[in-house]
Amino acid sequence: MSEPGTARLAESDVVHVAKLARLAITADEVERYTTQLGGMLEHFADIDSLDLSSVEPMTHPLPLSNVMREDVVKPCLDRGEVLAASPASEDGRFRVPPMAGEA
Amino acid sequence: MSIPTTRSTSDFAGVIALAEQIRNGDRTAVDVVEEHLARIDAGNPELHAFNLVMADSAMAAAATIDGQIAAGNPVGVLAGVPVALKDNLCTHGVETTCSSKILQGWKPPYNATVVDRLAAAGAIGIGKTNLDEFAMGSSTENSAFGPTRNPHDPSRVPGGSSGGSAAAVAAGFAPFALGSDTGGSIRQPAALCGVVGVKPTYGTVSRYGLIAFASSLDQIGPFTHSVADAAVVLEAIGGHDPMDSTSLPRPFPSVSGVLDRGVEGLRVGRITDLPTGADDDVNGRLDAAFAALEAAGATIVDVQVPAFTFGLTAYYIVAPAEASSNLSRFDGVRYGLRVDAPSTGEMMAASRAAGFGDEVKRRIMLGTYALSAGYYDAYYGKAQRIRTLIAQDFAKAYAQVDVLMTPTAPTEAFHFGDKGDNPLSMYLCDLYTIASNLAGHPGISVPYGVGDEGLPIGVQVLAPALGEPVMFQVAAELERLASK
């Protein structure tokens, strides 16, 4: 099968997107995703010719907005139980490796 | 007219029948749970419908129900009836994985609202069912723990993403199951496994505790052997939930009472510009369903829904975009897999790379790209406008008809590996189910005979938002006609 869409997407795009998505990817994956995602974007071209300038976007199927609960104190999740399910915790908090010095 | 049947699943007692037998004291809940566990022991090693079987807690819950009945205490409408739960529904203290390595071993600190409501109605959780990782797929081949097999032919897929739930019901492992449907993930596996599957109107069933895939599309719904069973389950789990800000502030529409009304005088729409791609035998069953409904008194009306055909593209922009956002929470900090690294950023990237499977990564990448600077208007913005077009076109069609009818899936159950390396060919499985998710409308798949290869084929009935009563009315008639 030909992959006409690859022209629209460069490997550098895939590397950039992986960084945005915080996904470490291999050289092999860069190559594969460039081909596969390019093919999908090509398929999406079926909507290119639609004139949608007068159509409002639908963000959500329901006309609900700003749903608030009553401002009363209610029980919440047990902190110890939540922390126990995490990879690492300390002193009632989630523990992560150093963050300073990152780009 | 007789319809050839495949290996029947109707030998298994349904929800209403079991609940009645238990309530009346004809059978104990313990006996019912033991019977289902025995079938799971015998069949699940081959089919892999379950990621986890909850044998001990199910037996304990059954004994409690039996005690309540023996004491003459009132019990819920589903008392003693086993249920299989898709493994993206949170169960307090019980491993919930989304069939992903990134959540393997995670035990949620709370129950999904639907899990609580089922428990309040007396239903008994019997296991967590397999799915395509994070509900992304149409065959369960994307599960990190191996695929589920179709009970009608184990060399074929059960559909997906809720393939484990569909297979569990079809194989008699549970009389009903819950799944989630973002683009067809309840209806398509229901069709491929020969059971009833319902995606209700967006907002009618709480998603609190459903691990989110695409939040403007996801809905929870049931798999059952009959339309009447599905009605009872939805009435038990549906209705407003303050824990879900997208929950409609109203009760679930009453559907059990309309099932015997027939279709006399109803208008059933045939979409003349439906995207092509369904196999001949699938179209043949659909034509037979139209003919049968017409003979039963319905009027068949040709309508057009021009934007239907753009649904696939809109969906494969909206769903990955929302997924890329929703799945950013899996970063090795609060739950699940962590791969150690010198810095937090490297730890997150390494954890996500090790924890997510190929299809999930692909969709995160696609969604991140569609939302990234410079592309938002071209993709996500445009896809949102197509949703409006689809809703408008549906509205025009529903001005002329009460329901629409389409194939559920384009083919019978296919063989493992059939869709190969091209993700787009798998995406086409959702061709006929996606539009109702984009519009927020309900849809139901009803088994309607078998195809050329002897496997089940489903017919899909669609209705406008909150049109469940008329949708169930037509579905119940279809079910009667299918068994004639």
Q: Is the pLDDT of residue A5 over 50?
A: no
Convert the pLDDT of each residue in B117-162 to its tens digit: 999 999 999 999 999 999 999 999 999 999 999 999 999 999 999 9
In this structure, is residue A14 part of a structural domain? Answer: yes
Does B185 fall in a domain?
Answer: yes
Q: Which of A17, A25, A99 is closest, CB to CB, to B344?
A: A99
Q: What residues of A are in contact with residue B337 (Cβ under 8 Å)?
A: 87
Residues whose CB falls within 8 Å of the CB of residue B278, separated by 6 or more in sequence, listed in order: B286, B407, B410, B411, B431, B432
pLDDT tens column, A81-91: 999 999 999 99
Q: Is the pLDDT of residue A100 over 80?
A: no
Task: Residue B109: give the domain boundaries.
Answer: 15-260
In a domain? residue B245? yes
* Structural domain boundaries, residue A12: 1-46
What percent of chain B is predicted at pLDDT more than 70? 98
- Domain membership of residue B339 (yes or no) is no
Q: Find, in chain B, the residue whose alpha carbon is nearest to that of A66.
A: B245
Predicted local confidence at residue B276, as pLDDT: 93
Q: Which residues have C-beta within 8 Å of that of residue A93, sequence separation ≥ 6?
A: A83
From chain A, the residues in CB contact with B368 under 8 A are 17, 20-21
C-beta of residue B348 within 8 angstroms of C-beta of residue B363: no
> Quick check: is B466 in a domain?
no
Residue B35 has phi, psi (to 5 degrees) of -60, -45
- Total structural domains within chain B: 1
Q: Give mean pLDDT, residues A4-21.
A: 83
Residue type, B482: A
Res. B3: pLDDT tops 60:
no
Confidence of residue A64 (pLDDT cuts 50, 70, 90): confident
Rounded to an integer, the average pLDDT of A57-65 is 85
Give burial (CB, 10 Å; 0-12/13-18/19+) of B344. middle
Q: Half-sphere exposure (CA, 13 Å, Cβ side) for B208?
A: 23
User: What pLDDT, on the 0 to 100 scale, is given for residue B2?
Assistant: 34
> Residue B484 domain-assigned?
no
pLDDT at B132: 98
User: Which of B310, B343, B350 has the CB atom closest to A24's CB atom?
Assistant: B350
* DSSP per-residue string spanning B218-273: -EEEEEESSHHHHHHHHHHHBS--TT-TTS-SSPPPP-GGGTTS--TT-EEEEETT
CA distance B62 to B55: 11
Q: Can you give the length of chain B in residues?
A: 484
Share of chain B above pLDDT 90, in %: 95
Encoded amino acid at A57, one letter: P
Residue B237 belongs to a domain with what CATH number?
3.90.1300.10
* CATH code assigned at A11: 1.10.20
Total domains, chain A? 1
Candidates A12, A23, A95, A99: best to mutate against B (most CBs of B within 10 A) is A23
Checking if the pLDDT of B395 tops 50, the result is yes
Residue A81 lies in a domain: no
What average pLDDT does the segment B179-196 reach?
A: 98
| Shortest distance, CA B320 to any CA of chain A (angstroms) | 12
Residue A74 lies in a domain: no
Is-catalytic flag, B216?
no
| Residue A64 included in any domain | no
Quickly list H helices, B263-405: 280-295, 311-326, 344-355, 358-371, 382-398
Query: Does A69 fall in a domain?
Result: no
Name the active-site residue from B161, B180, B206, B436.
Answer: B161
Confidence of residue B420 (pLDDT cuts 50, 70, 90): confident
Q: Report CB contact under 8 Å: A36, B362.
A: yes
**Three-state helix/strand/coil letters over B98-141:** CCCHHHCCCCCCCCCHHHHHHHHCCCEEEEEECCCHHHCCCCCC
Q: Per-residue pLDDT tens for B437-473?
A: 999 999 999 999 999 999 999 999 999 999 999 999 9
Q: Is residue B133 one of the residues assigned to a domain?
A: yes
Task: Please indicate whether, in this complex, the C-beta atoms of B343 and A77 are within 8 angstroms of each other.
Answer: no
Q: What is the pLDDT of residue A61?
A: 87
Give mean pLDDT, residues B7-29. 88
Q: Among B195-199, B270-274, B417-421, which stretch is predicted with the lowest mean pLDDT?
A: B417-421
Does the residue B134 lie in any domain? yes
**pLDDT for the residue numbered B8:** 45
B260's CB contacts (< 8 A; 6+ apart) are B476
**Is there a contact between B384 and A78 if contact means CB atoms under 8 Å apart?**
no
| Complex ipTM tops 0.85 | yes
Distances (CA, A) of B242 to A67, B113, B248, B249, B445: 9, 10, 9, 8, 29
Average pLDDT over chain A reads: 87
The mean pLDDT of chain B is 96
Distance from C-alpha of A56 to C-alpha of A50, rounded to nearest angstrom? 14
Render pLDDT for B213-254 as a digit per residue (tens, 0 to 9).
999 999 999 999 999 999 999 999 999 999 999 999 999 999
pLDDT, average across residues A18-37:
96
- Predicted pLDDT of residue A2: 35
Report chain B residues whose CB lies below 8 A from the CB of A49.
none
Domain contains A10: yes
Tell me, yes or no, if B254 is annotated catalytic.
no
Instruction: Compute the Cα dihedral for B456, B408, B78, B468 and give only its sign.
Output: negative
The predicted-structure confidence for B291-344, as pLDDT tens digits, reads as follows 999 999 999 999 999 999 999 999 999 999 999 999 999 999 999 999 999 999
Q: What is residue B402's DSSP assignment?
A: S
Residue B380 DSSP one-character state: I
Is B351 assigned a catalytic role?
A: no
* B435, part of any domain: no
A29 contacts on B by Cβ (under 8 Å) = 361
Q: Classify residue A1: in a domain, yes or no.
A: yes
CA distance B451 to chain A (A): 29
Kindly state the average pLDDT of the residues A41-64: 88
